[in-house]
Homo-oligomer: A and B are copies of this chain.
């Protein structure tokens, strides 16, 4: 850990740096819960085992209680003045419900390319993300596309919010195999950013997406 601080365009780089010790433990928690979520889908198990596991988890929830939360609004303000710490960056990025490795409900995206020209991520989606038999749930695809399109915007050093997200399902995306998500900023028009994306299973594109993102209005 260093005392280096970060601004809004250093988010991705800072989040790739050393993982703070508490986030090593938080990621272990999320990974174990992902594993449990996957294994318990339609699991053959005795009634006694199911009830025992439920009891263990309820007991843990009681032990955890309702801890105070770190304030990301303050971390956000520090970021916009270039004063965010590495811990602030992990607080902002690592709990994201679409790709955050410390969020137990999030599919764990691995970023394999992040440049201003585009981003690529790989993800293995287990049975807890299934829609029709053998296929990834269409809504889970949309969840991840929103995240990947937004990441392409950040990688192109832009900030903004999703205006529209259009997803076109070309073919089914297989479950229990590693699939690839891509996105790139295609065009800008004033405050509007047109970002296109796709999902690939092997060489086959299974989904197309386009998002229109809006840059914030400054100086109003």
Contacts and interface: CB of A to CB of B under 8 A. Distances in A.
Interface of A: 21-22, 25-26, 28-29, 32-37, 39-45, 47, 50-51, 53-54, 56-58, 60-61, 63-70, 72-73, 76, 91, 95-98, 103-105, 127-134, 137-140, 142-147, 150, 161-169
B60 A39 contact: no
A54 B28 contact: yes
B70 A53 contact: no
A165 B131 CA distance: 15
A143 B97 CA distance: 11
A198 B129 CA distance: 23
Contact of A143 (B44, B103, B143, B168): B143
A87 to B, nearest CB: 10
A54 B104 CA distance: 12
Contact of A44 (B25, B69, B146): B69
* Interface majority SS (helix, strand, loop, mixed), chain A: helix
Contacts of A134: 73
A208 to B, nearest CB: 9
A140 B146 CA distance: 9
A64 B40 contact: yes
Nearest to A55: B28
A58 B28 contact: yes
Contact of A142 (B21, B39, B130, B165): B165
A66 B39 contact: yes
A164 B42 CA distance: 29
Contacts of A97: 128-131, 137, 139-140
B143 A139 contact: yes
